Structure formats: C-alpha cells, structure tokens
Chains A and B, each alone.
Chain A
C-alpha cells in the first residue's frame, strides 16, 4: 500500500491483518453485488441452464461412484460393531441417518468443491487474465451477471439435487452389502431405512446442500473473477477456490449441525 505522495503507507494493524480485512470487505461487496444482480432483469436463463448441465450432469459419474462406495464401505465398517450386539437389523436405519444427515451433503459438497470449484476458478481466472471479461464489459455486456450470477445460482440449485442423488446411490451401495449378507429385500431395506428419517433431517440436509453450493459458487467465482498475475494467477484461483470452499464447508457443517441439534 502506498500513499499518494509515493511513501509507503503505514499499516493500521499489520500488513497481514490489514490485507485480511480488506479481502473480507471486498468479498462482502462481491456477495452484495451477487444479490443485487440476481434480482435485476434480464435473467440469463440460457447460460444458467448451461451451467446447471455443467455442474449437475457432468458431475453425475463421479458422484455416483463416490456415493455408492461411501454407502457400501460405511455399511461394511459398521457391520462388525453392530453384529457384536446382534443388532445388524439396525444397519438400514443407521446408514440412512448417517447418509441423509451427514455423508450425502458433505461428500457431494467436497466432490463438487474439487471438481466444479476448481473448474469455475480456473475458467473465470483465465478469462480475467486474457482480458475476456474486460472484452465483455466493453461490449456493453454485464460480465458479472452473465458469468457469476449464473454459476453461483447453478451450484446453489444443483447441489441439493446432487445430494439427493448421492443419498440414493449411497443407500443402494449399502443395500447391496445388506442384501448379500442378510438377503434383505429392497422394499424392506428402504422401509426400514426411511423409518427413522424425519422431515427436519430432509430439510436440514437440503438447506446444507444449498449453503454448500452457494459457498462453492461464490468462492470460486470470487477467486476467478479477481484473478491476477497471468497464468500463475489462474492456478492460484483454481487452487484457492477448492481450499477455501472446503474450509468453509466444514465450518458451515459444524454451525448447521449445532443449530439443527438445538431444534431437534
């Protein structure tokens, strides 16, 4: 930081702390601008649908694999402990609670932070450093609305859908293991699994997924949109998108779980 007379400006607290507060301020302005642009016409429907396709459909393969393995492995790991008490019949309920309440939102969010977050950060970052965003601006196009609002909205809308899909696939993985060991029918498994799931569980998980989706979208767009320093900046934008998204997802998880448990 320099003053206008060319002398370096003295930091208010320390350079690091000052930088932190400046970045908090700019992030706040970025989020505020998102909400301002969100409710302003015209809506970028076509680009929003394209982004939903990129975020949702393109993540399905990875989500399917990780969701299925999570359910399967979690069931396999839980079986020995439950069988000690002869309580393997509780497996469907246990797995359903674990998957719906915690695993599905978290696994989906972490996978999307890695896959979608890095891709958004890198894409917008490279558009910034190659002046494509400036080119939009000088062509009288609002790049924030076109690039940021559509992506953040897409991640916020798609994450709950992906989360529901992950939960389903995870339960299928679990069912496979239960069926192989106990020859339980699918109907019985799912009736048992959902018997202990409440509306609050479903609501909380959906809300969590939306919050994670918003976090991934806004963090990645912020990092990409404000990238600098050429190709190095693009790499940094992609990397920090993932790291900060994951960090915030865990923080949000702790807060939401506390709030939901206090309601329960």
Chain B
C-alpha cells in the first residue's frame, strides 16, 4: 500500500467541490458531491462504472457544466470563468483520458509538441524538442518519439497521454481510469508512473478508477462513489473498514476472489 505523501499541504486546497449536482435528463448522475483535494495529494475516486466518476472530473476541467454547486480549482470558480480564463486554467490542469485520446494523424513527438506550440507561440524548436525529451523520459518511452499512436500498445498510449498532459507542467492531474483494459504488469507500471509524476512534478491528482489495486497503490485518500454520492472518504484502511455493501463487494472481488 502507498505511504501517504509527506509533502501534502493540508492548508492548501487546490480543488474544492461543494454540493455538486449534475443530471442528464432524468438521469441524476451527481447528487451533492463534496470533495477537497490538497496540494500534493492523490485522491482516488472509486466506484462502479456509470456512477458519475468521469462526469465529476469533466466538470472540474470545464468540459461539462454543473446544474448546481460550486467547483473551485486553484481558487477559481469554474462556472464563472470566461473562455479565456478557462483556457488559462486548463494549462494548469492535466487530463489523462481513459482512451488516451492521442491525435491519430500525428506521431508521438508531434502529439507532445502540439499543446506546447499552441500555447507558446514564441517557443523555439530546440526548446520544444527538449521538453518532449524530458516528458518522454519521464514516462519511459523515449524510443517511441517517431511512432504513430496506432503502433503503440494500450499501456504505451496511456503513458504518452500522461506525457502529453505533463508537457504543460500542470499543478493538477486528472486521471480517468488509468488502468482500465490493461494487463496486471502494465497496471503496476501505470500506478508507479502516477506516483512518480506526483513525486517528480509535485502534482495534486484525482484518479478515477474501479481498480482497487490502483486505488491502494496511488491514493493518499480514497472517496467511494455510489449512485452519485460519496459513501465513504478517508485513507484506504479507514474506507475499507466500513460496513458498506458496495465497499465490501469491491474488496472481496479484488482481493479475496
């Protein structure tokens, strides 16, 4: 199990969510979510598929808007930001997609350089190359620079997806199902990478997952989501001592069966 990061600053809240509600038609996805993420902390949001975990992080990054409630990211209320302010904030927030969402028509190197060039008009080619090398090295895929996404394995694509978010030096990382669909060995590599990113780049993160091993290995704290609400929050041990049916079934499926 992961040791709690000693550098977490409990006085510095980077993401603060209060009474968050979101519905799609008659489907009430989020029903009163409250969550604080502190600087340097990895928070795992654990829950079954379709419980609204991905919707939560899409709201945090402004891809979706809440019906009610407030989401403060780095001291800014997401709902009240202008388009330009939101874009500026997004440079501080990295989002790793479940599918990696790499640009098919670009090589790995171009995928990484793209956000950098778009957001820094005067950056030189040398600087871009250096930054690309640094993040590729951080995810251990320096050799893949000229490959196309279609030539990569699922785990490699996820790692490149993480590298693409790291290149903008975000303060916050949002991981959407980082280990979904990967073999156990690759899952361990991704878990280690998430911890390495936290340590090396001093990021705060929300990790969305239904993989208990990932939660155990990467989370400083865990929030269990059921039907759009958090039914338990705390450290791994605190959460899994609760007598909640969902939590116990998660535990039994992952660690006993």
Contact = CB atoms under 8 A, between A and B. Distances in A.
Interface of A: 1-4, 6-8, 42, 126-127, 130-132, 134-135, 137-142, 146
Contacts of A142: 87
A127 B103 CA distance: 8
Interface string B144-170: 000000000000000000001100100
Interface of B: 23, 25-26, 28, 61, 63, 87-88, 90-91, 93-95, 97, 99, 101-104, 114-115, 118-119, 121, 164-165, 168
A137 to B, nearest CB: 6
6 contacts: A132-B102, A134-B101, A138-B94, A139-B115, A139-B119, A140-B87
Contact of A2 (B26, B91, B104, B119): B26
A131 B87 contact: no
Contacts of B165: 139
Contacts, number: 61
B25 A135 contact: no
Contacts of B91: 140
A138 B63 contact: yes
Contacts of A7: 26
Given A1-B25, A2-B26, A140 B95 contact: no
B101 A130 contact: yes
A1 B25 CA distance: 7
A131 B90 contact: no
Given A2-B25, A6-B28, A141-B118, 18 more contacts: A1-B25, A3-B26, A126-B104, A130-B99, A132-B101, A132-B104, A135-B95, A135-B101, A135-B103, A135-B164, A137-B90, A138-B63, A138-B94, A139-B114, A139-B115, A139-B165, A140-B87, A140-B115
Contact of A138 (B25, B61, B88, B99): B61
